[in-house]
Protein backbone atom coordinates (compact mmCIF):
# COMPACT_ATOMS: atom_id res chain seq x y z
CA UNK A 1 0.00 0.00 0.00
CA UNK A 2 2.82 2.38 0.91
CA UNK A 3 4.45 2.01 -2.50
CA UNK A 4 1.17 2.45 -4.34
CA UNK A 5 0.84 5.84 -2.63
CA UNK A 6 4.11 6.87 -4.28
CA UNK A 7 2.31 6.87 -7.63
CA UNK A 8 -0.20 9.49 -6.45
CA UNK A 9 1.62 12.63 -7.72
CA UNK A 10 2.24 11.01 -11.10
CA UNK A 11 -1.40 9.94 -11.37
CA UNK A 12 -2.50 13.46 -10.44
CA UNK A 13 -0.25 14.91 -13.15
CA UNK A 14 -1.59 12.45 -15.73
CA UNK A 15 -5.22 13.25 -14.88
CA UNK A 16 -4.47 16.98 -15.00
CA UNK A 17 -2.97 16.64 -18.47
CA UNK A 18 -6.08 14.85 -19.72
CA UNK A 19 -8.37 17.70 -18.71
CA UNK A 20 -9.97 19.75 -21.47
CA UNK A 21 -8.84 23.10 -20.07
CA UNK A 22 -5.93 24.29 -18.00
CA UNK A 23 -8.31 25.62 -15.38
CA UNK A 24 -9.66 22.10 -14.86
CA UNK A 25 -6.06 20.86 -14.69
CA UNK A 26 -5.37 23.35 -11.89
CA UNK A 27 -8.42 22.04 -10.04
CA UNK A 28 -6.96 18.53 -10.24
CA UNK A 29 -3.59 19.69 -8.93
CA UNK A 30 -5.20 21.48 -5.98
CA UNK A 31 -7.38 18.48 -5.21
CA UNK A 32 -4.16 16.49 -4.97
CA UNK A 33 -2.72 19.19 -2.71
CA UNK A 34 -5.80 18.84 -0.50
CA UNK A 35 -5.07 15.15 0.15
CA UNK A 36 -1.28 15.30 0.09
CA UNK A 37 -1.06 15.46 3.89
CA UNK A 38 -2.96 12.19 4.30
CA UNK A 39 -0.79 10.58 1.63
CA UNK A 40 2.31 11.67 3.56
CA UNK A 41 1.03 9.79 6.60
CA UNK A 42 0.18 6.70 4.56
CA UNK A 43 3.69 6.67 3.05
CA UNK A 44 5.45 7.45 6.34
CA UNK A 45 6.68 10.71 4.80
CA UNK A 46 8.41 9.12 1.83
CA UNK A 47 10.47 11.80 0.00
CA UNK A 48 8.50 11.29 -3.23
CA UNK A 49 5.20 12.05 -1.51
CA UNK A 50 6.75 14.77 0.61
CA UNK A 51 7.37 16.77 -2.58
CA UNK A 52 4.36 15.29 -4.36
CA UNK A 53 2.73 18.62 -5.26
CA UNK A 54 6.04 19.84 -6.65
CA UNK A 55 6.39 16.70 -8.78
CA UNK A 56 2.83 16.91 -10.11
CA UNK A 57 3.08 20.64 -10.82
CA UNK A 58 6.38 20.45 -12.66
CA UNK A 59 5.38 17.39 -14.69
CA UNK A 60 2.32 19.26 -15.92
CA UNK A 61 4.31 22.44 -16.38
CA UNK A 62 7.00 20.58 -18.32
CA UNK A 63 4.48 19.14 -20.78
CA UNK A 64 2.81 22.53 -21.28
CA UNK A 65 6.13 24.32 -21.78
CA UNK A 66 7.30 21.67 -24.26
CA UNK A 67 4.07 22.12 -26.21
CA UNK A 68 4.44 25.91 -26.17
CA UNK A 69 8.03 25.67 -27.42
CA UNK A 70 6.95 23.34 -30.22
CA UNK A 71 4.29 25.88 -31.24
CA UNK A 72 6.80 28.73 -30.82
CA UNK A 73 4.65 30.29 -28.10
CA UNK A 74 7.11 30.02 -25.23
CA UNK A 75 7.07 33.63 -23.95
CA UNK A 76 6.02 34.14 -20.35
CA UNK A 77 3.15 36.55 -19.69
CA UNK A 78 4.11 40.00 -18.42
CA UNK A 79 2.71 39.68 -14.93
CA UNK A 80 2.58 42.55 -12.42
CA UNK A 81 5.64 42.90 -10.14
CA UNK A 82 7.65 40.70 -12.52
CA UNK A 83 10.93 42.51 -11.81
CA UNK A 84 10.53 42.24 -8.03
CA UNK A 85 9.66 38.57 -8.45
CA UNK A 86 12.76 37.96 -10.58
CA UNK A 87 14.95 39.71 -8.01
CA UNK A 88 13.36 37.69 -5.22
CA UNK A 89 14.02 34.40 -7.03
CA UNK A 90 17.59 35.42 -7.87
CA UNK A 91 18.26 36.45 -4.26
CA UNK A 92 16.97 33.16 -2.83
CA UNK A 93 18.98 31.16 -5.35
CA UNK A 94 22.12 33.15 -4.52
CA UNK A 95 21.64 32.43 -0.81
CA UNK A 96 22.46 28.79 -1.54
CA UNK A 97 26.08 29.99 -1.52
CA UNK A 98 25.72 31.94 1.74
CA UNK A 99 28.42 31.02 4.29
CA UNK A 100 25.61 30.24 6.74
CA UNK A 101 23.87 27.73 4.44
CA UNK A 102 25.12 24.38 5.70
CA UNK A 103 25.22 22.61 2.33
CA UNK A 104 24.15 22.84 -1.29
CA UNK A 105 21.57 20.09 -0.76
CA UNK A 106 19.96 21.88 2.20
CA UNK A 107 19.91 25.15 0.29
CA UNK A 108 18.21 23.64 -2.74
CA UNK A 109 15.77 21.72 -0.51
CA UNK A 110 14.65 25.05 0.98
CA UNK A 111 13.40 26.13 -2.44
CA UNK A 112 10.31 24.04 -1.69
CA UNK A 113 9.40 26.71 0.83
CA UNK A 114 10.42 29.74 -1.20
CA UNK A 115 10.31 29.09 -4.94
CA UNK A 116 8.61 25.95 -6.24
CA UNK A 117 5.03 27.27 -6.07
CA UNK A 118 5.78 30.54 -7.88
CA UNK A 119 4.89 29.09 -11.34
CA UNK A 120 1.29 28.95 -10.10
CA UNK A 121 1.28 32.74 -10.27
CA UNK A 122 1.94 32.60 -14.02
CA UNK A 123 -0.50 29.73 -14.54
CA UNK A 124 -3.22 31.58 -12.65
CA UNK A 125 -2.55 34.66 -14.77
CA UNK A 126 -2.77 32.71 -18.02
CA UNK A 127 -5.97 30.77 -17.29
CA UNK A 128 -7.79 33.87 -16.02
CA UNK A 129 -7.76 35.31 -19.52
CA UNK A 130 -11.12 33.54 -19.50
CA UNK A 131 -13.30 35.46 -17.04
CA UNK A 132 -15.08 32.23 -16.10
CA UNK A 133 -11.85 30.52 -15.00
CA UNK A 134 -12.00 31.74 -11.36
CA UNK A 135 -15.56 30.41 -11.07
CA UNK A 136 -14.56 27.00 -12.44
CA UNK A 137 -11.60 26.84 -10.08
CA UNK A 138 -13.51 27.93 -6.96
CA UNK A 139 -16.49 25.70 -7.71
CA UNK A 140 -14.41 22.63 -8.46
CA UNK A 141 -12.24 22.82 -5.37
CA UNK A 142 -15.09 23.67 -2.98
CA UNK A 143 -17.20 20.75 -4.23
CA UNK A 144 -14.29 18.42 -3.47
CA UNK A 145 -13.83 19.98 -0.04
CA UNK A 146 -17.46 19.17 0.77
CA UNK A 147 -16.54 15.48 0.64
CA UNK A 148 -13.34 16.13 2.62
CA UNK A 149 -15.35 17.92 5.33
CA UNK A 150 -17.79 15.01 5.49
CA UNK A 151 -14.86 12.63 5.94
CA UNK A 152 -13.49 14.84 8.73
CA UNK A 153 -16.81 14.92 10.58
CA UNK A 154 -17.21 11.13 10.30
CA UNK A 155 -13.65 10.63 11.50
CA UNK A 156 -14.27 12.84 14.51
CA UNK A 157 -17.55 11.20 15.49
CA UNK A 158 -16.06 7.73 14.96
CA UNK A 159 -13.32 8.47 17.47
CA UNK A 160 -9.97 6.71 17.83
CA UNK A 161 -10.22 3.27 16.30
CA UNK A 162 -13.17 4.24 14.12
CA UNK A 163 -13.48 3.30 10.44
CA UNK A 164 -11.65 6.46 9.30
CA UNK A 165 -8.80 6.25 11.79
CA UNK A 166 -5.38 5.30 10.41
CA UNK A 167 -4.36 3.68 13.69
CA UNK A 168 -1.05 4.12 15.51
CA UNK A 169 0.24 6.83 13.21
CA UNK A 170 -2.68 9.05 14.26
CA UNK A 171 -2.13 8.39 17.95
CA UNK A 172 1.57 9.23 17.58
CA UNK A 173 0.73 12.51 15.91
CA UNK A 174 -1.84 13.33 18.59
CA UNK A 175 0.63 13.00 21.46
CA UNK A 176 0.65 16.22 23.44
CA UNK A 177 -2.84 17.32 22.35
CA UNK A 178 -5.49 17.66 25.04
CA UNK A 179 -8.35 16.64 22.75
CA UNK A 180 -9.18 14.10 20.07
CA UNK A 181 -8.92 16.02 16.81
CA UNK A 182 -9.69 14.68 13.34
CA UNK A 183 -7.06 14.76 10.61
CA UNK A 184 -9.41 14.74 7.64
CA UNK A 185 -7.23 14.76 4.53
CA UNK A 186 -4.36 16.54 6.32
CA UNK A 187 -1.18 15.38 8.02
CA UNK A 188 -1.72 17.01 11.41
CA UNK A 189 -4.50 16.90 14.02
CA UNK A 190 -7.05 19.56 13.10
CA UNK A 191 -5.31 20.44 9.83
CA UNK A 192 -8.56 20.20 7.86
CA UNK A 193 -9.42 23.57 9.40
CA UNK A 194 -6.87 25.15 7.05
CA UNK A 195 -9.04 24.14 4.10
CA UNK A 196 -12.09 25.41 5.95
CA UNK A 197 -10.26 28.74 6.25
CA UNK A 198 -10.19 28.82 2.45
CA UNK A 199 -13.58 27.28 1.73
CA UNK A 200 -15.73 29.79 3.58
CA UNK A 201 -14.50 32.90 1.67
CA UNK A 202 -14.48 30.92 -1.58
CA UNK A 203 -18.16 30.03 -1.17
CA UNK A 204 -18.96 33.64 -0.29
CA UNK A 205 -17.18 34.87 -3.44
CA UNK A 206 -19.17 32.46 -5.62
CA UNK A 207 -22.38 33.90 -4.22
CA UNK A 208 -21.26 37.51 -4.62
CA UNK A 209 -20.12 36.85 -8.18
CA UNK A 210 -23.75 36.10 -8.96
CA UNK A 211 -23.02 32.62 -10.30
CA UNK A 212 -24.83 30.78 -7.50
CA UNK A 213 -27.48 31.51 -4.92
CA UNK A 214 -26.87 31.31 -1.22
CA UNK A 215 -29.29 28.37 -1.01
CA UNK A 216 -27.37 26.34 -3.60
CA UNK A 217 -26.82 22.88 -1.99
CA UNK A 218 -23.05 22.90 -2.56
CA UNK A 219 -22.74 26.43 -1.18
CA UNK A 220 -24.78 25.48 1.88
CA UNK A 221 -22.70 22.39 2.57
CA UNK A 222 -19.42 24.25 1.98
CA UNK A 223 -20.35 26.92 4.51
CA UNK A 224 -21.87 24.56 7.07
CA UNK A 225 -19.13 21.97 6.63
CA UNK A 226 -16.33 24.49 7.02
CA UNK A 227 -17.86 25.93 10.20
CA UNK A 228 -18.35 22.50 11.76
CA UNK A 229 -14.78 21.54 10.82
CA UNK A 230 -13.49 24.70 12.52
CA UNK A 231 -15.23 23.78 15.77
CA UNK A 232 -14.24 20.09 15.84
CA UNK A 233 -10.64 20.80 14.80
CA UNK A 234 -9.86 23.47 17.36
CA UNK A 235 -8.56 25.80 14.66
CA UNK A 236 -9.03 29.15 16.36
CA UNK A 237 -6.42 31.08 14.38
CA UNK A 238 -7.65 29.94 10.99
CA UNK A 239 -11.24 30.56 12.10
CA UNK A 240 -10.35 34.14 12.94
CA UNK A 241 -8.40 34.39 9.68
CA UNK A 242 -11.42 33.24 7.73
CA UNK A 243 -13.57 35.73 9.64
CA UNK A 244 -11.13 38.53 8.71
CA UNK A 245 -11.29 37.48 5.06
CA UNK A 246 -15.11 37.41 5.10
CA UNK A 247 -15.39 40.81 6.78
CA UNK A 248 -12.94 42.31 4.29
CA UNK A 249 -14.88 40.87 1.35
CA UNK A 250 -18.19 42.16 2.67
CA UNK A 251 -16.76 45.60 3.49
CA UNK A 252 -15.31 46.01 0.00
CA UNK A 253 -18.58 44.91 -1.59
CA UNK A 254 -20.62 47.30 0.57
CA UNK A 255 -18.29 50.21 -0.24
CA UNK A 256 -18.90 49.38 -3.88
CA UNK A 257 -22.61 49.82 -3.18
CA UNK A 258 -23.72 46.20 -3.09
CA UNK A 259 -26.23 45.99 -0.26
CA UNK A 260 -26.66 42.26 -0.87
CA UNK A 261 -23.30 41.72 0.82
CA UNK A 262 -24.83 42.79 4.15
CA UNK A 263 -27.56 40.18 3.76
CA UNK A 264 -24.94 37.53 3.00
CA UNK A 265 -23.00 38.50 6.13
CA UNK A 266 -26.16 38.23 8.23
CA UNK A 267 -26.83 34.77 6.76
CA UNK A 268 -23.28 33.72 7.63
CA UNK A 269 -23.71 34.87 11.22
CA UNK A 270 -26.84 32.73 11.46
CA UNK A 271 -24.87 29.84 9.97
CA UNK A 272 -22.12 30.24 12.59
CA UNK A 273 -24.68 30.05 15.42
CA UNK A 274 -26.41 27.11 13.79
CA UNK A 275 -23.16 25.20 13.25
CA UNK A 276 -22.15 25.80 16.88
CA UNK A 277 -25.47 24.39 18.11
CA UNK A 278 -25.16 21.36 15.84
CA UNK A 279 -21.66 20.64 17.14
CA UNK A 280 -22.62 21.08 20.79
CA UNK A 281 -25.89 19.15 20.65
CA UNK A 282 -25.21 16.41 18.12
CA UNK A 283 -21.67 16.04 16.77
CA UNK A 284 -19.66 16.40 19.97
CA UNK A 285 -21.79 14.02 22.11
CA UNK A 286 -21.42 11.28 19.49
CA UNK A 287 -17.65 11.78 19.45
CA UNK A 288 -17.45 11.72 23.26
CA UNK A 289 -19.31 8.41 23.37
CA UNK A 290 -16.83 6.99 20.85
CA UNK A 291 -13.90 8.25 22.93
CA UNK A 292 -15.43 6.76 26.07
CA UNK A 293 -15.43 3.33 24.39
CA UNK A 294 -11.87 3.70 23.07
CA UNK A 295 -8.92 2.14 24.86
CA UNK A 296 -5.34 3.34 25.26
CA UNK A 297 -6.20 7.01 24.83
CA UNK A 298 -5.30 9.87 27.21
CA UNK A 299 -7.93 10.34 29.91
CA UNK A 300 -8.05 14.07 29.24
CA UNK A 301 -9.64 13.33 25.85
CA UNK A 302 -12.72 12.06 27.66
CA UNK A 303 -13.29 15.38 29.42
CA UNK A 304 -12.17 17.95 26.84
CA UNK A 305 -13.24 18.68 23.28
CA UNK A 306 -11.72 20.93 20.57
CA UNK A 307 -14.85 23.13 20.53
CA UNK A 308 -14.14 24.13 24.15
CA UNK A 309 -11.21 26.20 22.90
CA UNK A 310 -13.57 28.55 21.04
CA UNK A 311 -15.18 29.68 24.27
CA UNK A 312 -11.93 31.51 25.06
CA UNK A 313 -12.34 33.76 22.00
CA UNK A 314 -14.61 36.03 24.03
CA UNK A 315 -11.87 36.52 26.62
CA UNK A 316 -9.86 39.73 25.89
CA UNK A 317 -6.81 38.34 27.70
CA UNK A 318 -6.40 35.72 24.98
CA UNK A 319 -5.61 38.41 22.43
CA UNK A 320 -3.38 40.39 24.77
CA UNK A 321 -1.19 37.41 25.60
CA UNK A 322 -1.25 35.35 22.39
CA UNK A 323 1.89 35.42 20.24
CA UNK A 324 3.65 37.96 22.42
CA UNK A 325 7.26 38.79 21.67
CA UNK A 326 6.94 38.91 17.90
CA UNK A 327 8.60 42.31 17.63
CA UNK A 328 11.53 41.13 19.72
CA UNK A 329 11.97 38.08 17.46
CA UNK A 330 12.09 40.34 14.42
CA UNK A 331 14.53 42.90 15.85
CA UNK A 332 16.87 40.18 17.15
CA UNK A 333 17.10 38.61 13.70
CA UNK A 334 17.57 41.94 11.95
CA UNK A 335 20.53 42.72 14.19
CA UNK A 336 22.08 39.26 14.16
CA UNK A 337 21.60 38.25 10.51
CA UNK A 338 20.55 41.16 8.28
CA UNK A 339 21.26 39.03 5.19
CA UNK A 340 19.88 35.78 6.56
CA UNK A 341 21.24 32.92 8.65
CA UNK A 342 21.34 30.45 5.78
CA UNK A 343 18.65 28.63 3.85
CA UNK A 344 16.83 25.63 5.27
CA UNK A 345 16.62 26.92 8.84
CA UNK A 346 12.82 26.70 8.90
CA UNK A 347 10.13 24.67 7.15
CA UNK A 348 10.37 21.16 5.76
CA UNK A 349 14.10 21.39 5.03
CA UNK A 350 14.81 22.05 8.72
CA UNK A 351 12.81 18.95 9.69
CA UNK A 352 14.46 16.75 7.06
CA UNK A 353 18.07 17.88 7.72
CA UNK A 354 17.96 18.56 11.45
CA UNK A 355 21.13 16.57 12.16
CA UNK A 356 23.13 18.31 9.43
CA UNK A 357 21.96 21.75 10.57
CA UNK A 358 23.18 21.15 14.13
CA UNK A 359 26.38 19.31 13.30
CA UNK A 360 28.69 22.32 13.73
CA UNK A 361 28.73 24.50 16.88
CA UNK A 362 27.69 27.58 14.88
CA UNK A 363 24.86 25.71 13.14
CA UNK A 364 23.65 24.33 16.46
CA UNK A 365 23.62 27.82 17.99
CA UNK A 366 21.68 29.26 15.04
CA UNK A 367 19.09 26.50 15.14
CA UNK A 368 18.58 26.73 18.87
CA UNK A 369 18.25 30.53 18.95
CA UNK A 370 16.84 31.36 15.53
CA UNK A 371 15.73 28.13 13.87
CA UNK A 372 11.99 28.17 14.46
CA UNK A 373 9.73 31.16 14.93
CA UNK A 374 5.95 31.16 15.01
CA UNK A 375 6.10 34.35 12.99
CA UNK A 376 6.40 34.73 9.22
CA UNK A 377 8.51 37.89 9.35
CA UNK A 378 11.00 36.38 11.80
CA UNK A 379 11.23 33.17 9.76
CA UNK A 380 11.79 35.06 6.50
CA UNK A 381 14.51 37.18 8.11
CA UNK A 382 16.34 34.03 9.18
CA UNK A 383 15.97 32.43 5.76
CA UNK A 384 16.41 35.35 3.36
CA UNK A 385 17.38 38.35 5.47
CA UNK A 386 16.05 41.86 5.07
CA UNK A 387 16.14 41.88 1.21
CA UNK A 388 14.11 38.68 0.79
CA UNK A 389 11.61 39.65 3.47
CA UNK A 390 11.03 43.08 1.93
CA UNK A 391 10.63 41.70 -1.59
CA UNK A 392 8.13 38.94 -0.79
CA UNK A 393 6.16 41.13 1.59
CA UNK A 394 6.22 43.89 -1.03
CA UNK A 395 4.72 41.52 -3.60
CA UNK A 396 1.96 40.63 -1.14
CA UNK A 397 1.21 44.29 -0.44
CA UNK A 398 1.28 45.15 -4.14
CA UNK A 399 -1.16 42.37 -4.97
CA UNK A 400 -3.38 43.57 -2.13
CA UNK A 401 -3.51 47.05 -3.69
CA UNK A 402 -4.44 45.56 -7.08
CA UNK A 403 -7.10 43.37 -5.47
CA UNK A 404 -8.71 46.35 -3.74
CA UNK A 405 -8.73 48.25 -7.03
CA UNK A 406 -10.28 45.27 -8.83
CA UNK A 407 -12.98 45.04 -6.16
CA UNK A 408 -14.18 48.50 -7.23
CA UNK A 409 -14.77 47.78 -10.94
CA UNK A 410 -18.26 47.66 -12.39
CA UNK A 411 -18.13 44.02 -13.48
CA UNK A 412 -19.73 41.96 -10.70
CA UNK A 413 -17.66 38.80 -11.22
CA UNK A 414 -14.30 40.60 -11.33
CA UNK A 415 -15.21 42.78 -8.35
CA UNK A 416 -16.07 39.72 -6.28
CA UNK A 417 -12.75 38.10 -7.23
CA UNK A 418 -10.89 41.25 -6.22
CA UNK A 419 -12.68 41.34 -2.88
CA UNK A 420 -11.95 37.65 -2.31
CA UNK A 421 -8.21 37.98 -2.97
CA UNK A 422 -8.04 41.17 -0.89
CA UNK A 423 -9.74 39.39 2.00
CA UNK A 424 -7.40 36.41 1.66
CA UNK A 425 -4.28 38.60 1.63
CA UNK A 426 -5.41 40.67 4.61
CA UNK A 427 -6.06 37.44 6.53
CA UNK A 428 -2.63 36.06 5.56
CA UNK A 429 -0.87 39.22 6.69
CA UNK A 430 -2.65 39.21 10.05
CA UNK A 431 -2.02 35.49 10.56
CA UNK A 432 1.65 35.98 9.65
CA UNK A 433 2.26 37.50 13.06
CA UNK A 434 1.51 34.15 14.69
CA UNK A 435 2.30 31.61 11.95
CA UNK A 436 3.93 31.23 8.53
CA UNK A 437 1.06 30.95 6.00
CA UNK A 438 3.15 32.37 3.14
CA UNK A 439 5.85 29.73 3.62
CA UNK A 440 3.79 26.55 3.67
CA UNK A 441 1.20 24.73 1.63
CA UNK A 442 -1.69 24.83 1.08
CA UNK A 443 -1.96 28.54 1.88
CA UNK A 444 1.18 29.42 -0.09
CA UNK A 445 0.01 27.66 -3.26
CA UNK A 446 -3.39 29.33 -3.10
CA UNK A 447 -1.70 32.69 -2.59
CA UNK A 448 0.21 32.39 -5.85
CA UNK A 449 -2.58 30.99 -8.03
CA UNK A 450 -5.28 33.34 -6.73
CA UNK A 451 -2.88 36.28 -6.96
CA UNK A 452 -2.20 35.38 -10.59
CA UNK A 453 -5.90 35.10 -11.45
CA UNK A 454 -6.66 38.42 -9.80
CA UNK A 455 -3.75 40.14 -11.56
CA UNK A 456 -4.98 38.95 -14.96
CA UNK A 457 -8.54 40.13 -14.33
CA UNK A 458 -7.17 43.49 -13.11
CA UNK A 459 -5.15 43.80 -16.31
CA UNK A 460 -8.28 43.01 -18.32
CA UNK A 461 -10.24 45.64 -16.39
CA UNK A 462 -7.77 48.49 -16.90
CA UNK A 463 -7.25 47.69 -20.59
CA UNK A 464 -10.95 47.31 -21.40
CA UNK A 465 -12.20 49.92 -23.89
CA UNK A 466 -14.39 52.74 -22.65
CA UNK A 467 -18.11 51.99 -23.10
CA UNK A 468 -18.58 54.74 -25.71
CA UNK A 469 -15.48 53.72 -27.63
CA UNK A 470 -16.56 50.09 -27.57
CA UNK A 471 -19.99 51.06 -28.88
CA UNK A 472 -18.45 53.07 -31.72
CA UNK A 473 -16.13 50.20 -32.61
CA UNK A 474 -19.07 47.80 -32.84
CA UNK A 475 -21.16 50.18 -35.02
CA UNK A 476 -20.81 49.59 -38.77
CA UNK A 477 -19.37 52.53 -40.66
CA UNK A 478 -21.90 54.60 -42.60
CA UNK A 479 -21.75 53.84 -46.30
CA UNK A 480 -22.02 56.75 -48.81
CA UNK A 481 -25.22 56.87 -50.77
| Position 387 confidence tier, pLDDT thresholds 50, 70, 90 | very high
Residues 82 and 219 in one domain: yes
Whether residue 279 contacts residue 235, with contact meaning beta carbons closer than 8 Å, is answered with: no
349 occurs within a structural domain: yes
Chain-centroid distance, C-alpha 468: 41
State the total domains in the chain. Answer: 2
Residues 1 and 61 in one domain: yes
Query: Which of 37, 56, 75 marks a domain boundary?
Result: 75
Handedness of CA 308, 312, 314, 319 (dihedral sign): negative
Handedness of CA 195, 201, 204, 208 (dihedral sign): negative
Residues 150 and 173 in one domain: yes
Nearest CA among 75, 66, 176, 175 for reference residue 126: 75
Reported as a single tens digit per residue, the pLDDT across 181-217 is: 898 999 888 899 999 999 999 999 999 988 888 889 9
Nearest CA among 459, 419, 460, 437 for reference residue 202: 419
394 occurs within a structural domain: yes
Q: Is the pLDDT of residue 324 over 70?
A: no
Distance CA 444, CA 437 (A): 6
468 occurs within a structural domain: no
470 occurs within a structural domain: no
Reported as a single tens digit per residue, the pLDDT across 305-321 is: 888 888 777 666 666 66
Residues 387 and 328 in one domain: yes
Reported as a single tens digit per residue, the pLDDT across 33-84 is: 999 999 988 888 888 988 999 999 999 999 999 988 888 776 777 899 999 9
pTM, two decimals, is: 0.91
Residues 307 and 192 in one domain: yes
57 occurs within a structural domain: yes
Residues 383 and 248 in one domain: yes
Q: What is the pLDDT of residue 170?
A: 77
285 occurs within a structural domain: yes
State which residues form the domain around 248: 76-462
Reported as a single tens digit per residue, the pLDDT across 421-464 is: 999 999 999 999 988 999 988 999 999 999 999 999 999 888 87
Residues 17 and 82 in one domain: no
Residues 124 and 22 in one domain: no
Whether residue 33 contacts residue 53, with contact meaning beta carbons closer than 8 Å, is answered with: yes
Residues 255 and 219 in one domain: yes
Q: Which burial class, exposed, middle or buried, applies to 225 when counting CB atoms under 10 A from its CB (0-12, 13-18, 19+)?
A: buried
Handedness of CA 430, 436, 439, 442 (dihedral sign): negative
- Using a pLDDT cut of 90, give the percent of the chain over it: 54
SS (H, E, C) 261-323: HHHHHHHHHHHHHHHHHHHHHHHHHHHHHHHHHCCCCCHHHHCCCHHHHHHHHHCHHHHHHCC
Least confident of 255-269, 305-319, 334-348: 305-319
Nearest CA among 396, 398, 343 for reference residue 366: 343
Top-confidence residue, 240 or 4:
240
Amino acid sequence: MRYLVLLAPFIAAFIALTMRTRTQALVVLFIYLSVEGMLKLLSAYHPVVHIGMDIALYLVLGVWVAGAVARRESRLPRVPFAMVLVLHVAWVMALVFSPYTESLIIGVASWKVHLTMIPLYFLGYMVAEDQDAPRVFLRGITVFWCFAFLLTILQYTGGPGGPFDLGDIYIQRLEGFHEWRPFGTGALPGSQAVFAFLALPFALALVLRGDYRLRDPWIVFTIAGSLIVFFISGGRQVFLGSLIAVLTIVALQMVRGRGRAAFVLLALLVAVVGAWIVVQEYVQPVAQRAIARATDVPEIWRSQAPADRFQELLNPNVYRTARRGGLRLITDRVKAFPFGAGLGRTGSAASQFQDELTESPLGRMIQERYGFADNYFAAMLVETGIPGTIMLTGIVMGLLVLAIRLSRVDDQADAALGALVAGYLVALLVMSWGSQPLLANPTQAFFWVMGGMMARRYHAAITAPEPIAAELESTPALQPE
